[in-house]
Chains A and B, each alone.
Chain A
């Protein structure tokens, strides 16, 4: 009886794991499959580098170029990452070198609250606060890339703070006794030892943060203005994820437009995949050292 139970449980685990992997693999396969028909009609270069996105032919010819969308996705993620690192690093220094263990126990879950807020609420607050501020400051209609960047930066903060302060805590444990023995002041030690020592891991979490920012849909879509333009800090633009979310409902099943949206999704997936590869490379090199 007991042996049967053990066998049954093993079987259960094996089947569920296989199922999970198969489903996940199938999702990837399906997206690639639905994107490929596009490239029999539009060449890869035209799709990636073209700047005209005209899915319906009511003004002349159709055309599918997503260069502006790719640029906007990368641009807004980069802006967000730069903004988030400035604040996130400072906050992680505070958490790892000022806060006591008890304070950390309260402050970590507190910062983690940011990660729990749904992106639609970020978008909502962005619309009702940020966009209004930008409107008063003289930006037309108020929605712009910078507003999306600020929102995304807030969304990235909990991830950056968690990974950076973990690294810094480790470095602090390693060097604190030596620094104390040399009589260096605590803040001098932070500035000249702990920060440089954790630089590589910080870089890694920065790349990870860009990846996270690129896949974000709702918050960006709600405050970025959504028009097919090359991104400027105070101008409107449209990210890949927003194109998919806005146009999927109107694309005819099986049409080039439909496949082009899958193509855009595939491009986004490949960008994220490249980021993952870079991270793995950097990490394995760090382990070697």
Chain B
């Protein structure tokens, strides 16, 4: 039976090495291949040339992606926080709670492409919004709503009950308790949850193929105009063949850099505002 111990040890070290290797490879590969394309012009100019991405930069796609992400975070984040607050502090009926959890679980199980399909038929066609940032943003918002809700609810439930009880015992209203005690206490988790949800929305391609992202557009002026988006731009560059691989690597570089930076910010912020009762 001694071999089992040795085998497990070997297995653990090798597979952890493999995981780290894969992560370093993914980031290293994209950064290495994309670094040559990155320049001030690439980041601040619109695509030019006959074939998409042959010349020029990706500025409208960066701004477009920010618009999509912003819309999704506002439309999805606020209801997500509200329903998490409701579930933890307002809801007293077990059945209602179970129903809410069921619906949220169902939605988080819906593949993102089906959400795109829904937004296309309902928002773009039936409501006649057309392909625009708002339609795609709504699809993305529905996608990240469960993501943020689950994290927020977990954070709220981790607050020690005595803190909430003390606040009520002092005669504070629910509003006061939530805004002055609970939200500040969970600040770290909430902000990092929203940042990660935003990253998730930014990287999703499937929900916006038919609903708002287009191959070429100027910098959007309102929420009712279509826009370019980084992930779709990358996909289209790949789909048209090997003509603009450099731009594709550059686009991937920009996306990976955004993901890496916002992940780091989220982690650092969450750690800095770690709660006092968790620190030993």
Interface residues of A (CB under 8 A from B): 2-3, 5-6, 9-10, 12-14, 16-17, 19-21, 23-25, 27-28, 30-31, 34, 86-91, 93-95, 97-98, 105, 109-114, 116-121, 123-125, 127-129, 154, 157, 161, 185, 187-188, 190-192, 195, 211, 214-218, 222, 241, 244-245, 248-249, 253, 261-262, 265, 268-269, 272-273, 275-276
Q: Which residues of B contact A98 (CB under 8 A)?
A: 12-13, 16
Assess whether B56 is interfacial by the CB under 8 Å rule: no
- Cβ-neighbour of A187 out of B8, B122, B238, B264 (below 8 A): B8
| C-alpha gap A5/B176 in the complex (Å) | 9
Known: A125-B30, A129-B29, A157-B19. A215 touches B109 (CB 8 A): yes
The answer to whether A27 and B110 have CB atoms under 8 Å apart is yes
Give Cα A24 to B105, complex, Å. Answer: 10
Which one of B36-44, B195-203, B220-228 is at the interface?
B195-203
Given contacts A13-B85, A24-B104, A118-B203, contact A265 B109 (CB under 8 A): no
Contact A118 B14 (CB under 8 A): no
Whether the Cβ atoms of A24 and B106 lie closer than 8 Å is yes
Task: Name the residue of chain A whose CB is nearest to the CB of B271.
Answer: A105
Q: Which chain B residue has the least Cβ–Cβ distance from A218?
A: B205
A16 to B76, alpha carbons, bound, how many Å?
11
Do residues A24 and B121 form an inter-chain contact, with CB atoms below 8 A? no
CB-defined contacts of A218 to chain B, threshold 8 Å: 205-206, 231, 235
Q: Which of A6, A17, A128, A154 contacts B173 (CB 8 A)?
A: A6
Nearest CB of chain B from residue A127's CB, rounded to whole Å: 6
- Are B23 and A23 in contact, with the CB atoms below 8 A? no
List 18 other contacts, CB 8 Å, given A9-B179, A116-B199.
Answer: A10-B174, A16-B79, A17-B79, A28-B103, A28-B106, A28-B110, A89-B15, A93-B11, A98-B13, A111-B19, A113-B23, A118-B231, A118-B259, A125-B26, A187-B6, A187-B9, A244-B113, A245-B209
Neighbour of A12 across the interface among B5, B80, B82, B103, CB < 8 A: B82
Contacts of B80 in A (CB 8 A): 20
User: Is the CB–CB distance between A191 and B109 below 8 Å?
Assistant: no
Residues of A within 8 A of B205 (CB): 118-120, 217-218
CA distance A217 to B142 in the complex (A): 17
Question: Does B5 lie within 8 Å of A191, measured CB to CB?
Answer: yes
Given contacts A28-B106, A120-B235, A244-B117, whether A20 and B145 have CB atoms under 8 Å apart is yes
A154 to B113, CA, bound (A): 20
Closest 10 CB pairs of A and B: A118-B203, A90-B15, A215-B111, A16-B82, A94-B16, A187-B5, A20-B79, A272-B109, A188-B5, A93-B12
A118 touches B19 (CB 8 A): no
Q: Which of A113, A154, A192, A262 has the most CB of B within 10 A?
A: A113
C-alpha gap A190/B59 in the complex (Å):
52
Closest B residue by C-beta to A262: B117
Question: Nearest residue in A to B79 (C-beta to C-beta)?
Answer: A20
- Per the bound structure, the CA–CA distance linking A34 and B122 in Å amounts to 10
Q: Is B191 an interface residue (CB 8 A)?
A: no
B163 sits at the interface (CB 8 A) = no
Q: Among the listed stretches B47-55, B154-162, B248-256, which one makes contact with chain A, having 4 or more residues with CB under 8 Å of it?
A: B248-256
Report the bound CA distance from A273 to B99 in whole Å. 15
Q: Which residues of B contact A87 (CB under 8 A)?
A: 15, 18-19
Shortest B207–chain A CB gap in Å is 9
Interface of B is mostly: helix
- Please measure, in the bound complex, the distance between the C-alpha atom of A220 and the C-alpha atom of B174, giving whole angstroms: 47
Contact of B260 (CB < 8 Å), options: A113, A188, A275? A113
For B9, list chain A residues within 8 Å (CB): 187, 190
Which residues from B are CB-within-8-Å of A124?
A: 234, 238, 248, 252
Interface SS majority for chain A:
helix
Given the complex, which residues of B lie within 8 Å of A119, measured CB to CB? Answer: 203-206
| Smallest beta-carbon distance B250→chain A, Å | 12
Residues of B within 8 A of A14 (CB): 86, 90
Verify if B67 is at the interface (C-beta below 8 Å from A): no
Given A124-B248, A215-B109, check contact A21 B122 (CB 8 Å).
Answer: no
Tell yes or no: B107 within 8 A of A by CB. yes
B115 near A10: Cβ-Cβ < 8 Å: no
**A116 engages B196 (CB within 8 Å):** yes
Q: How far is the CB of B123 from chain A (nearest CB, A)?
A: 11
CB distance from B262 to the nearest CB of A (A): 8
For residue A45, give the distance in angstroms from its CB to the closest CB of chain B.
Answer: 23
The interface bits of chain B over 175-206 (1 if a CB of A lies within 8 angstroms of the residue's CB, else 0) are 11011000000000000000010011011111
Q: How far is the CA of A272 from the CA of B142 in the complex (A)?
A: 17
Q: A27-B107, A109-B263 are in contact. Are A5 and B26 (CB under 8 A)?
A: no
Which residues from B are CB-within-8-Å of A272? Answer: 109-111
CA distance A97 to B16 in the complex (A): 12
From A20, A249, A265, contact of B83 by CB (8 A) = A20
Considering the complex, give the chain A residue whose CB is closest to the CB of B199. A116
Chain A: CB-nearest residue to B177: A6
